Structure 1
Protein backbone atom coordinates (compact mmCIF):
# COMPACT_ATOMS: atom_id res chain seq x y z
CA UNK A 1 0.00 0.00 0.00
CA UNK A 2 1.35 3.44 -0.90
CA UNK A 3 1.94 5.97 1.84
CA UNK A 4 -0.54 8.81 2.12
CA UNK A 5 2.36 11.28 1.72
CA UNK A 6 3.13 10.06 -1.81
CA UNK A 7 -0.44 9.62 -2.95
CA UNK A 8 -2.69 12.43 -4.04
CA UNK A 9 -6.29 12.09 -2.98
CA UNK A 10 -8.65 13.77 -5.39
CA UNK A 11 -12.26 14.04 -4.36
CA UNK A 12 -14.79 14.69 -7.09
CA UNK A 13 -18.01 15.42 -5.19
CA UNK A 14 -19.15 18.55 -7.00
CA UNK A 15 -16.13 19.93 -8.78
CA UNK A 16 -17.90 22.04 -11.36
CA UNK A 17 -19.97 24.01 -8.86
CA UNK A 18 -17.36 24.31 -6.13
CA UNK A 19 -14.23 25.03 -8.14
CA UNK A 20 -15.73 27.27 -10.81
CA UNK A 21 -17.04 29.61 -8.13
CA UNK A 22 -13.85 29.64 -6.05
CA UNK A 23 -11.74 32.79 -6.00
CA UNK A 24 -8.25 32.57 -7.53
CA UNK A 25 -5.38 31.76 -5.14
CA UNK A 26 -7.85 30.72 -2.45
CA UNK A 27 -7.07 27.30 -1.01
CA UNK A 28 -9.94 24.89 -1.54
CA UNK A 29 -11.48 23.42 1.61
CA UNK A 30 -10.65 19.79 2.10
CA UNK A 31 -13.50 17.30 1.63
CA UNK A 32 -15.19 16.12 4.81
CA UNK A 33 -14.30 12.47 4.15
CA UNK A 34 -10.61 13.43 4.17
CA UNK A 35 -10.75 15.75 7.19
CA UNK A 36 -12.57 13.03 9.14
CA UNK A 37 -9.66 10.69 8.43
CA UNK A 38 -7.14 13.30 9.58
CA UNK A 39 -9.11 13.84 12.80
CA UNK A 40 -8.33 10.25 13.78
CA UNK A 41 -4.73 11.31 14.44
CA UNK A 42 -5.86 13.49 17.36
CA UNK A 43 -7.28 10.55 19.35
CA UNK A 44 -4.85 9.60 22.14
CA UNK A 45 -6.20 6.16 23.03
CA UNK A 46 -4.55 3.62 20.70
CA UNK A 47 -7.55 1.31 20.29
CA UNK A 48 -9.96 4.21 19.69
CA UNK A 49 -7.53 5.78 17.18
CA UNK A 50 -7.18 2.48 15.30
CA UNK A 51 -10.96 2.03 15.25
CA UNK A 52 -11.34 5.57 13.89
CA UNK A 53 -8.77 4.95 11.15
CA UNK A 54 -10.44 1.65 10.22
CA UNK A 55 -13.86 3.34 10.05
CA UNK A 56 -12.64 6.29 7.96
CA UNK A 57 -10.55 4.18 5.57
CA UNK A 58 -13.62 2.00 5.09
CA UNK A 59 -15.66 5.11 4.26
CA UNK A 60 -13.06 6.25 1.72
CA UNK A 61 -12.93 2.78 0.17
CA UNK A 62 -16.74 2.69 -0.13
CA UNK A 63 -16.77 6.18 -1.70
CA UNK A 64 -14.08 5.07 -4.18
CA UNK A 65 -16.16 2.04 -5.17
CA UNK A 66 -19.12 4.39 -5.84
CA UNK A 67 -16.80 6.60 -7.97
CA UNK A 68 -17.23 9.52 -5.57
CA UNK A 69 -13.51 9.59 -4.76
CA UNK A 70 -10.60 9.10 -7.13
CA UNK A 71 -7.08 8.45 -5.91
CA UNK A 72 -4.24 9.35 -8.28
CA UNK A 73 -0.52 9.22 -7.66
CA UNK A 74 1.73 11.86 -9.22
CA UNK A 75 2.53 9.80 -12.32
CA UNK A 76 -1.17 9.16 -13.04
CA UNK A 77 -1.90 12.85 -12.50
CA UNK A 78 0.85 13.77 -14.99
CA UNK A 79 -0.68 11.37 -17.55
CA UNK A 80 -4.10 12.94 -16.96
CA UNK A 81 -2.69 16.42 -17.50
CA UNK A 82 -1.07 15.33 -20.75
CA UNK A 83 -4.27 13.74 -22.09
CA UNK A 84 -6.20 16.96 -21.33
CA UNK A 85 -3.74 19.10 -23.34
CA UNK A 86 -5.66 21.16 -25.87
CA UNK A 87 -8.99 21.20 -24.03
CA UNK A 88 -10.51 24.21 -22.31
CA UNK A 89 -11.94 23.49 -18.89
CA UNK A 90 -12.62 25.39 -15.67
CA UNK A 91 -9.79 26.01 -13.25
CA UNK A 92 -9.35 22.76 -11.36
CA UNK A 93 -6.81 23.13 -8.54
CA UNK A 94 -5.79 19.47 -8.53
CA UNK A 95 -4.83 19.77 -12.22
CA UNK A 96 -2.93 23.02 -11.82
CA UNK A 97 -5.62 25.06 -13.58
CA UNK A 98 -4.62 28.26 -11.75
CA UNK A 99 -1.26 28.52 -13.53
CA UNK A 100 -0.64 30.89 -16.41
CA UNK A 101 2.23 31.04 -18.89
CA UNK A 102 4.33 34.09 -19.76
CA UNK A 103 1.58 35.27 -22.14
CA UNK A 104 -1.01 35.20 -19.33
CA UNK A 105 -2.83 32.15 -20.74
CA UNK A 106 -3.98 29.28 -18.54
CA UNK A 107 -1.91 26.13 -18.69
CA UNK A 108 -2.13 22.80 -16.95
CA UNK A 109 0.76 22.36 -14.51
CA UNK A 110 3.55 23.30 -16.86
CA UNK A 111 2.18 21.37 -19.83
CA UNK A 112 2.57 23.75 -22.73
CA UNK A 113 3.63 21.19 -25.32
CA UNK A 114 3.43 17.46 -25.93
CA UNK A 115 5.00 14.98 -28.29
CA UNK A 116 3.11 11.96 -29.54
CA UNK A 117 2.99 9.34 -32.27
CA UNK A 118 0.35 9.53 -34.98
CA UNK A 119 -2.02 6.56 -34.71
CA UNK A 120 -4.47 7.52 -37.49
CA UNK A 121 -4.88 10.10 -40.24
CA UNK A 122 -7.87 11.19 -42.28
CA UNK A 123 -7.95 13.78 -45.04
CA UNK A 124 -10.49 16.55 -44.49
CA UNK A 125 -9.88 17.97 -47.96
CA UNK A 126 -8.09 21.11 -49.10
CA UNK A 127 -4.84 19.96 -47.46
CA UNK A 128 -6.37 19.74 -43.96
CA UNK A 129 -6.08 16.60 -41.83
CA UNK A 130 -7.61 14.94 -38.81
CA UNK A 131 -4.84 13.29 -36.82
CA UNK A 132 -5.39 10.69 -34.09
CA UNK A 133 -2.64 10.30 -31.51
CA UNK A 134 -1.42 7.19 -29.73
CA UNK A 135 -3.04 8.39 -26.47
CA UNK A 136 -6.50 8.60 -28.08
CA UNK A 137 -6.57 12.38 -28.59
CA UNK A 138 -7.80 13.65 -31.95
CA UNK A 139 -6.57 16.91 -33.48
CA UNK A 140 -7.38 18.65 -36.76
CA UNK A 141 -5.29 21.08 -38.77
CA UNK A 142 -7.02 24.41 -39.35
CA UNK A 143 -4.73 25.30 -42.24
CA UNK A 144 -3.36 23.20 -45.07
CA UNK A 145 -0.29 20.99 -44.79
CA UNK A 146 1.55 21.70 -48.03
CA UNK A 147 4.87 19.87 -47.85
CA UNK A 148 3.80 16.26 -47.31
CA UNK A 149 0.91 14.25 -45.92
CA UNK A 150 1.10 13.00 -42.32
CA UNK A 151 1.50 9.25 -41.91
CA UNK A 152 0.75 6.75 -39.16
CA UNK A 153 3.84 6.19 -37.03
CA UNK A 154 5.28 9.67 -37.50
CA UNK A 155 5.95 11.86 -34.49
CA UNK A 156 4.02 15.06 -33.94
CA UNK A 157 4.83 17.94 -31.63
CA UNK A 158 1.97 20.11 -30.39
CA UNK A 159 2.63 23.45 -28.68
CA UNK A 160 0.50 26.06 -27.03
CA UNK A 161 0.49 29.22 -29.18
CA UNK A 162 -0.89 32.75 -28.93
CA UNK A 163 -4.42 33.53 -27.75
CA UNK A 164 -5.39 29.99 -26.84
CA UNK A 165 -4.41 28.42 -30.13
CA UNK A 166 -2.09 25.49 -30.80
CA UNK A 167 0.60 24.74 -33.35
CA UNK A 168 1.38 21.24 -34.56
CA UNK A 169 4.46 20.06 -36.38
CA UNK A 170 4.64 16.62 -37.97
CA UNK A 171 8.23 15.38 -38.21
CA UNK A 172 9.98 16.91 -41.18
CA UNK A 173 7.25 19.48 -41.79
CA UNK A 174 6.43 23.04 -40.89
CA UNK A 175 4.24 24.04 -37.95
CA UNK A 176 0.55 24.67 -38.69
CA UNK A 177 -2.39 25.75 -36.54
CA UNK A 178 -4.33 22.88 -35.03
CA UNK A 179 -7.29 22.38 -32.72
CA UNK A 180 -8.23 19.54 -30.39
CA UNK A 181 -11.45 17.88 -31.54
CA UNK A 182 -11.71 14.99 -29.07
Structure 2
Protein backbone atom coordinates (compact mmCIF):
# COMPACT_ATOMS: atom_id res chain seq x y z
CA UNK A 1 0.00 0.00 0.00
CA UNK A 2 2.73 2.50 0.90
CA UNK A 3 4.39 2.02 -2.48
CA UNK A 4 1.18 3.15 -4.10
CA UNK A 5 1.02 6.26 -1.91
CA UNK A 6 4.51 7.51 -2.88
CA UNK A 7 3.61 9.69 -5.85
CA UNK A 8 4.73 12.93 -7.39
CA UNK A 9 3.50 16.08 -5.68
CA UNK A 10 1.46 17.37 -8.61
CA UNK A 11 -0.46 14.22 -9.41
CA UNK A 12 -0.45 13.06 -5.83
CA UNK A 13 -2.45 15.96 -4.49
CA UNK A 14 -5.34 15.44 -6.91
CA UNK A 15 -5.40 11.68 -6.40
CA UNK A 16 -5.16 11.93 -2.63
CA UNK A 17 -7.95 14.48 -2.30
CA UNK A 18 -10.16 12.38 -4.56
CA UNK A 19 -9.26 9.28 -2.61
CA UNK A 20 -10.48 10.71 0.65
CA UNK A 21 -13.76 12.31 -0.33
CA UNK A 22 -16.11 9.37 -0.30
CA UNK A 23 -18.11 11.09 2.44
CA UNK A 24 -18.35 14.36 0.49
CA UNK A 25 -21.04 13.31 -1.95
CA UNK A 26 -20.93 11.58 -5.32
CA UNK A 27 -17.81 12.69 -7.16
CA UNK A 28 -17.29 11.65 -10.77
CA UNK A 29 -15.20 8.60 -9.85
CA UNK A 30 -17.98 7.26 -7.60
CA UNK A 31 -20.57 7.55 -10.35
CA UNK A 32 -18.38 5.59 -12.74
CA UNK A 33 -17.94 2.80 -10.18
CA UNK A 34 -14.18 3.30 -9.89
CA UNK A 35 -12.49 3.83 -6.53
CA UNK A 36 -9.47 5.98 -5.76
CA UNK A 37 -6.18 4.11 -5.59
CA UNK A 38 -5.43 5.08 -1.99
CA UNK A 39 -8.60 3.57 -0.49
CA UNK A 40 -9.26 0.72 -2.93
CA UNK A 41 -7.34 -1.88 -0.84
CA UNK A 42 -9.31 -0.94 2.28
CA UNK A 43 -12.61 -1.21 0.44
CA UNK A 44 -11.56 -4.52 -1.08
CA UNK A 45 -11.27 -5.97 2.44
CA UNK A 46 -15.07 -6.23 2.48
CA UNK A 47 -14.81 -8.96 -0.15
CA UNK A 48 -12.78 -11.29 2.10
CA UNK A 49 -15.09 -14.16 3.10
CA UNK A 50 -13.36 -15.47 6.25
CA UNK A 51 -14.11 -13.11 9.16
CA UNK A 52 -10.64 -13.39 10.74
CA UNK A 53 -8.94 -12.69 7.41
CA UNK A 54 -11.32 -9.78 6.73
CA UNK A 55 -10.49 -8.24 10.13
CA UNK A 56 -6.77 -8.69 9.50
CA UNK A 57 -7.18 -7.03 6.09
CA UNK A 58 -9.04 -4.05 7.61
CA UNK A 59 -6.42 -3.71 10.34
CA UNK A 60 -3.53 -3.83 7.84
CA UNK A 61 -5.07 -1.39 5.35
CA UNK A 62 -6.36 1.06 7.97
CA UNK A 63 -2.87 1.11 9.56
CA UNK A 64 -1.44 1.86 6.13
CA UNK A 65 -3.88 4.78 5.64
CA UNK A 66 -3.11 6.06 9.14
CA UNK A 67 0.63 6.01 8.35
CA UNK A 68 0.00 7.85 5.07
CA UNK A 69 -2.05 10.45 6.96
CA UNK A 70 0.70 10.89 9.56
CA UNK A 71 3.24 11.39 6.72
CA UNK A 72 0.94 13.98 5.04
CA UNK A 73 0.62 11.80 1.95
CA UNK A 74 -3.19 11.93 2.01
CA UNK A 75 -5.79 14.42 3.17
CA UNK A 76 -9.34 13.75 4.26
CA UNK A 77 -11.99 16.35 3.50
CA UNK A 78 -15.60 16.16 4.53
CA UNK A 79 -18.47 17.88 2.74
CA UNK A 80 -18.05 21.09 4.77
CA UNK A 81 -14.32 21.23 3.92
CA UNK A 82 -15.16 20.82 0.24
CA UNK A 83 -17.76 23.60 0.45
CA UNK A 84 -15.25 25.96 2.10
CA UNK A 85 -12.59 25.13 -0.49
CA UNK A 86 -14.97 25.66 -3.41
CA UNK A 87 -16.01 28.98 -1.87
CA UNK A 88 -12.39 30.12 -1.50
CA UNK A 89 -11.69 29.25 -5.15
CA UNK A 90 -14.72 31.14 -6.50
CA UNK A 91 -13.66 33.39 -9.35
CA UNK A 92 -10.44 31.56 -10.21
CA UNK A 93 -10.16 29.94 -13.63
CA UNK A 94 -9.66 26.26 -12.81
CA UNK A 95 -10.58 23.08 -14.65
CA UNK A 96 -13.35 20.94 -13.10
CA UNK A 97 -11.76 19.24 -10.10
CA UNK A 98 -13.30 15.85 -9.26
CA UNK A 99 -12.30 16.10 -5.59
CA UNK A 100 -14.30 19.33 -5.30
CA UNK A 101 -17.46 17.99 -6.90
CA UNK A 102 -16.30 18.18 -10.54
CA UNK A 103 -18.92 20.66 -11.76
CA UNK A 104 -21.68 19.79 -9.29
CA UNK A 105 -23.28 22.14 -6.83
CA UNK A 106 -23.51 21.26 -3.13
CA UNK A 107 -26.92 19.75 -3.82
CA UNK A 108 -25.40 17.36 -6.37
CA UNK A 109 -26.99 18.98 -9.41
CA UNK A 110 -24.82 19.75 -12.41
CA UNK A 111 -24.12 23.45 -12.61
CA UNK A 112 -21.53 23.60 -15.34
CA UNK A 113 -18.85 25.73 -13.75
CA UNK A 114 -19.41 25.42 -10.01
CA UNK A 115 -21.27 27.88 -7.83
CA UNK A 116 -23.22 30.63 -9.63
CA UNK A 117 -22.76 33.33 -6.99
CA UNK A 118 -21.03 34.14 -3.73
CA UNK A 119 -22.00 36.56 -0.99
CA UNK A 120 -19.07 37.76 1.11
CA UNK A 121 -17.94 40.55 3.40
CA UNK A 122 -15.39 43.10 2.23
CA UNK A 123 -12.24 43.17 4.38
CA UNK A 124 -10.45 46.09 2.68
CA UNK A 125 -10.77 48.43 -0.29
CA UNK A 126 -8.49 50.62 -2.39
CA UNK A 127 -9.41 53.14 -5.04
CA UNK A 128 -7.67 52.52 -8.35
CA UNK A 129 -8.82 55.83 -9.84
CA UNK A 130 -11.40 56.56 -12.50
CA UNK A 131 -14.10 54.94 -10.36
CA UNK A 132 -12.46 51.51 -10.28
CA UNK A 133 -11.79 49.66 -7.03
CA UNK A 134 -9.70 46.84 -5.66
CA UNK A 135 -11.27 44.97 -2.77
CA UNK A 136 -10.35 42.01 -0.62
CA UNK A 137 -12.80 39.58 0.92
CA UNK A 138 -12.52 38.21 4.44
CA UNK A 139 -11.20 34.89 3.08
CA UNK A 140 -8.30 36.71 1.38
CA UNK A 141 -9.62 36.67 -2.19
CA UNK A 142 -8.58 39.78 -4.12
CA UNK A 143 -10.96 41.31 -6.68
CA UNK A 144 -11.00 44.44 -8.86
CA UNK A 145 -13.81 46.17 -10.67
CA UNK A 146 -13.16 46.45 -14.39
CA UNK A 147 -15.56 49.32 -14.86
CA UNK A 148 -16.35 52.41 -12.83
CA UNK A 149 -18.49 52.11 -9.74
CA UNK A 150 -20.80 55.14 -9.90
CA UNK A 151 -23.03 54.50 -6.87
CA UNK A 152 -22.44 52.49 -3.72
CA UNK A 153 -18.68 52.12 -3.68
CA UNK A 154 -17.23 49.11 -1.86
CA UNK A 155 -16.74 49.73 1.85
CA UNK A 156 -14.95 47.65 4.47
CA UNK A 157 -17.43 45.57 6.47
CA UNK A 158 -20.21 45.72 3.87
CA UNK A 159 -21.27 42.77 1.78
CA UNK A 160 -20.77 42.10 -1.91
CA UNK A 161 -22.56 39.61 -4.11
CA UNK A 162 -20.31 38.20 -6.83
CA UNK A 163 -22.18 36.53 -9.68
CA UNK A 164 -20.87 34.37 -12.49
CA UNK A 165 -21.54 35.98 -15.88
CA UNK A 166 -21.47 34.58 -19.39
CA UNK A 167 -18.15 33.70 -21.00
CA UNK A 168 -16.22 33.44 -17.74
CA UNK A 169 -16.84 36.95 -16.46
CA UNK A 170 -18.14 38.09 -13.08
CA UNK A 171 -20.42 40.82 -11.77
CA UNK A 172 -20.28 42.51 -8.38
CA UNK A 173 -23.20 44.09 -6.53
CA UNK A 174 -22.08 46.09 -3.49
CA UNK A 175 -24.34 46.48 -0.47
CA UNK A 176 -26.32 49.69 -0.71
CA UNK A 177 -25.85 50.25 -4.44
CA UNK A 178 -28.16 47.76 -6.10
CA UNK A 179 -26.14 48.30 -9.29
CA UNK A 180 -24.08 45.67 -11.06
CA UNK A 181 -20.50 46.27 -12.20
CA UNK A 182 -18.06 43.93 -13.90
CA UNK A 183 -15.32 42.49 -11.70
CA UNK A 184 -12.53 39.93 -11.87
CA UNK A 185 -10.57 37.99 -9.32
CA UNK A 186 -6.86 38.75 -9.29
CA UNK A 187 -5.71 36.49 -6.46
- Mind listing any 5+ residue stretches in structure 2 that lack a counterpart? 1-10, 19-27, 106-110
Matched residue, 1:147:
151
Residue 36 of structure 1: how far off its partner (Å): 0.3
1:105-153 Cα deviation digits (max 9, x unpaired): 8412xx1101011111111222111111112211111111112432111
Matched residue, 1:120:
124
Matched residue, 2:8:
none
Three-state SS of the structure 2 residue aligned to 1:13 is: helix
Judge conservation of contact 1:122–1:131 (CA < 8 Å) in 2. yes
Matched residue, 1:107:
113
Counterpart-to-counterpart distance in 2, 1:161 and 1:139: 15
1:81-118 Cα deviation digits (max 9, x unpaired): 11111111122122233459xxxx8412xx11010111
Counterpart-to-counterpart distance in 1, 2:77 and 2:54: 26
Q: TM-score, normalised by structure 2?
A: 0.75
Counterpart-to-counterpart distance in 1, 2:102 and 2:116: 12
1:55-92 Cα deviation digits (max 9, x unpaired): 11121122223333221111111111111111111221
Counterpart-to-counterpart distance in 1, 2:153 and 2:57: 62
Three-state SS of the structure 2 residue aligned to 1:117 is: strand
Judge conservation of contact 1:117–1:133 (CA < 8 Å) in 2. yes
Residue 119 and residue 28 in structure 1: after superposition, are their counterparts in 2 closer, same or farther (change >3 A)?
A: farther
- Mapping 1:70-81, distance limit 5 Å: 70-81=75-86
Three-state SS of the structure 1 residue aligned to 2:81 is: helix
Q: TM-score, normalised by structure 1?
A: 0.77
Residue 56 and residue 79 in structure 1: after superposition, are their counterparts in 2 closer, same or farther (change >3 A)?
A: same
1:7-61 Cα deviation digits (max 9, x unpaired): xxxxx62639xx9xxxx99838422221100111112222322221111112112
Three-state SS of the structure 2 residue aligned to 1:70 is: coil
Counterpart-to-counterpart distance in 1, 2:33 and 2:126: 43
- Aligned CA-pair RMSD: 2.7
Q: Which has the higher strand share?
A: 1
Matched residue, 2:167:
163
